[in-house]
């Protein structure tokens, strides 16, 4: 018997989906081109994720949260401001305090290596997951009743459905003829951990600077924060290799001195920032998920959250279909996933792009407009509560896993 689902790509999203499906009794094969232990190496990735409340509930339902909880920093306050380097926050600063919604913290900051370790440990322990890593998929073919993926080794794997979790360049989507809408923001993100003297008190800061957004995300312990600093690519590359003193001298005017003296607390990483949206989320015998469907601007930290929302919806659609005996790779089943997810994904991606375009601009009129806009948000409690609930992932028709319920 051919396995029901073949997942290409064992990044955060491929791993989370494999666990969600296997726990609900659906056997899966997971193919990842890199050895899994490279992901948990200390210096693999400097990113920290802002996980929404809904994402955390899902990780809890998958029993992934307990091993991350101790290393997760609750976000108790989000401050969004429109500012220029060296200036204080504009009068339009917005302040989102978790006390304004009843669900508790608005999110948690968790470092990449912590999430990866939890996922990889669970992958190994969950029955029903056939892990092929390192193994690269080099080709795939579909017929009306199934699909077949060819590995670099020459081996072919048969399945009823391929789920492409192979990242924002998704070779699988390309082979299926799915076009992408791309936009290069002309920015790169510098990501690193910074140690500071004063306690951050669980506050996350988002600053809109002319070169692009700048975020300070609180890490556990109170005295370390992760920064995401968008800059022109040439400058970003120079800053990555600059001596620590020079780097800190450039960072200080942006970071400010509200947390006291700062120093570097880890390697610096640079990621190019672009938008890469697949035009469709499904093709015959194929579903796209995570960055393969939508690589968005990291503003507001929605990338992994969106991926988890995809996984929760796809797992629910597939598991329900399997339990009623449907062919899980059939167009009717895939259409349910597409309909559930495309709207959310497209609106989130476009909203992030629009926000960034609006804010990454030094035009004084625009600046005034957005200050007024932010001030309006600040003064309208209902609107503000909506933003907070949106950021916490609590809006829209929620799949069960996002409510923390098992499948």
Partner 1 sequence: MTGLRETIDPAEIAKFEAMADEWWDPAGKFRPLHMLNPCRLDYITRQIAGEFGRDLAAPRPFEGLRVLDIGCGGGLLAEPMARLGADVVGADAAEGNIHVARIHAAREGLAIDYRATTAEALAEAGEAFDVVLNMEVVEHVSDPPAYLAACHRLVRPGGIMVISTLNRTMKSFAAAIVGAEYVMRWLPRGTHDWRRFITPEELAALLGEAGFEVVDRTGFVFNPLGWSWSLSERDLSVNYAMTARHPG
Ligand X SMILES: Cc1cc2nc3c(=O)[nH]c(=O)nc-3n(C[C@H](O)[C@H](O)[C@H](O)COP(=O)(O)OP(=O)(O)OC[C@H]3O[C@@H](n4cnc5c(N)ncnc54)[C@H](O)[C@@H]3O)c2cc1C
Q: Which chain residues interact with partner 1 by CB under 8 A?
A: 1-2, 24-25, 144-145, 320-327, 331-332
H or E element, residue 58 = helix 53-61
Under the binding rule (CB under 6 A), the answer on residue 32 touching ligand X is yes
Count, residues in the chain: 407
Smallest Cα–Cα separation from 159: which of 44, 358, 4? Answer: 4
Among 160, 213, 307, 399, which residue sits at the site for ligand X (rule: CB under 6 A)?
A: 307
Among 6, 18, 189, 219, which residue sits at the site for ligand X (rule: CB under 6 A)?
A: 189
The site partner of 92 among partner 1, ligand X, none (C-beta below 5 to 8 Å per kind) is none
Under the binding rule (CB under 6 A), the answer on residue 98 touching ligand X is no
**Minimum distance between the CB of residue 312 and partner 1, rounded to whole angstroms?**
17
- Cβ burial of 166 (10 Å; 0-12, 13-18, 19+) is buried
Which residues does residue 224 pair with via DSSP β-bridges, in sequence order?
195
If the CB atoms of residues 78 and 287 are measured against partner 1, the closer one turns out to be 287
Measured CA angle at 11 (ends 406, 193), to 5 deg? 105
Under the binding rule (CB under 6 A), the answer on residue 360 touching ligand X is no
Among 291, 321, 341, 389, which residue sits at the site for ligand X (rule: CB under 6 A)?
A: 291
Under the binding rule (CB under 6 A), the answer on residue 305 touching ligand X is yes
**Minimum distance between the CB of residue 359 and ligand X, rounded to whole angstroms?**
17
**Minimum distance between the CB of residue 198 and ligand X, rounded to whole angstroms?**
23
Under the binding rule (CB under 6 A), the answer on residue 9 touching ligand X is yes
Which residue's entry shows tokens 């899902």?
A: 58
> What ranges in 267-359 are assigned the alpha helix state H?
303-323, 331-359
At 241 the three-state DSSP class reads helix
If the CB atoms of residues 323 and 379 are measured against partner 1, the closer one turns out to be 323
Under the binding rule (CB under 6 A), the answer on residue 212 touching ligand X is no
Among 13, 40, 126, 187, which residue sits at the site for ligand X (rule: CB under 6 A)?
A: 13
Smallest Cα–Cα separation from 277: which of 360, 189, 388, 351? Answer: 351
**Minimum distance between the CB of residue 328 and partner 1, rounded to whole angstroms?**
9
The site partner of 157 among ligand X, partner 1, none (C-beta below 5 to 8 Å per kind) is none
Under the binding rule (CB under 6 A), the answer on residue 49 touching ligand X is yes
36: number of CA atoms within 13 Å, CB side?
19
Give dist(CA 241, CA 236) in Å, integer: 9
Under the binding rule (CB under 6 A), the answer on residue 171 touching ligand X is yes
**Minimum distance between the CB of residue 28 and partner 1, rounded to whole angstroms?**
13
Under the binding rule (CB under 6 A), the answer on residue 107 touching ligand X is no
**Minimum distance between the CB of residue 145 and partner 1, rounded to whole angstroms?**
5
Under the binding rule (CB under 6 A), the answer on residue 44 touching ligand X is no
Among 4, 6, 7, 10, which residue sits at the site for ligand X (rule: CB under 6 A)?
A: 10
Under the binding rule (CB under 6 A), the answer on residue 137 touching ligand X is yes
Under the binding rule (CB under 6 A), the answer on residue 108 touching ligand X is no
The site partner of 47 among partner 1, ligand X, none (C-beta below 5 to 8 Å per kind) is ligand X
If the CB atoms of residues 321 and 402 are measured against partner 1, the closer one turns out to be 321
**Computed from CA positions of residues 364, 370, 376, 378, in that sequence, does the dihedral angle turn out positive or negative?**
negative
For the CA atoms of 116, 9, 404, 110, what is the dihedral angle to 10 degrees?
Answer: 30
**Extended strands (E) in 178-290:** 180-196, 203-209, 212-218, 224-231, 262-264, 269-278, 282-283, 286-288
> What ranges in 204-302 are assigned the alpha helix state H?
233-241, 244-255
Under the binding rule (CB under 6 A), the answer on residue 31 touching ligand X is yes
Smallest Cα–Cα separation from 18: which of 330, 283, 289? Answer: 289
Among 160, 301, 329, 393, which residue sits at the site for ligand X (rule: CB under 6 A)?
A: 301
Give dist(CA 377, CA 383) in Å, integer: 6
Give dist(CA 162, CA 112) in Å, integer: 26
Q: Enumerate residues 230-289 that contact ligand X by CB under 6 A.
A: 271
Total interface residues for ligand X by CB under 6 A: 34
Question: Which residues of the shown chain bind ligand X in the complex (CB under 6 A)?
Answer: 8-14, 31-34, 47, 49-50, 136-137, 165-167, 171, 189, 191, 228, 271, 290-292, 298, 301-305, 307
């Amino acid at each position: 018997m051919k396995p029901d689902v073949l997942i290409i790509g064992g990044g955060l999203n491929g791993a989370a989906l494999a666990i969600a499906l296997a726990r609900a009794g659906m056997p899966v094969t997971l193919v990842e081109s890199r050895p899994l232990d490279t992901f948990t190496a200390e210096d693999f990735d400097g990113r920290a994720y802002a996980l929404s409340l809904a994402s955390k509930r899902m990780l809890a339902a998958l029993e992934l949260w307990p091993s991350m909880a101790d290393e997760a920093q609750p976000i108790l306050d989000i401050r969004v401001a429109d500012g220029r380097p060296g200036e204080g926050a504009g009068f339009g600063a917005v302040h989102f305090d978790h006390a304004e919604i009843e669900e508790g913290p608005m999110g948690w900051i968790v470092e990449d290596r912590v999430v990866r370790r939890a996922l990889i440990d669970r992958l190994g322990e969950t029955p029903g997951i056939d892990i092929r890593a390192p193994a690269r998929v080099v080709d795939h073919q579909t017929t009306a009743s199934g699909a077949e993926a060819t590995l670099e080794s020459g081996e072919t794997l048969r399945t009823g459905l391929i789920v492409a979790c192979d990242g924002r360049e998704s070779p699988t989507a390309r082979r299926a003829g799915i076009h992408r809408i791309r936009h290069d923001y002309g920015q790169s993100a510098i990501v690193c951990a910074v140690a500071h003297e004063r306690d951050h008190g669980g506050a996350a800061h988002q600053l809109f600077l002319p070169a692009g957004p700048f975020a300070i995300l609180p890490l556990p312990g109170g005295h370390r924060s992760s920064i995401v600093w968008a800059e022109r690519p040439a400058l970003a590359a120079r800053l990555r290799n600059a001596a620590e003193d020079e780097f800190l001298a450039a960072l200080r005017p942006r970071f400010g001195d509200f947390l006291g003296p700062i120093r570097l607390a880890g390697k610096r990483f640079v990621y190019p920032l672009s938008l890469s949206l697949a035009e469709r989320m499904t093709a015959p015998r194929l579903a796209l998920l995570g960055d393969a469907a939508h690589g968005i601007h990291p503003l507001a930290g929605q990338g992994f959250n969106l991926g988890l929302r995809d996984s929760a919806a796809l797992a629910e659609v597939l598991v329900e279909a399997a339990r009623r005996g449907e062919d899980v790779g059939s167009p009717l089943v895939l259409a349910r996933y597409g309909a559930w997810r495309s709207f959310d994904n497209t609106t989130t991606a476009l909203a992030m792009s629009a926000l960034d375009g609006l804010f990454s601009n030094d035009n004084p009129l625009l600046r005034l407009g957005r200050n007024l806009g932010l001030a309006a948000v600040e003064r309208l409690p209902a609107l503000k509560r909506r933003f907070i609930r949106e950021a916490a992932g609590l809006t829209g028709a929620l799949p069960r896993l996002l409510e923390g319920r098992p499948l």
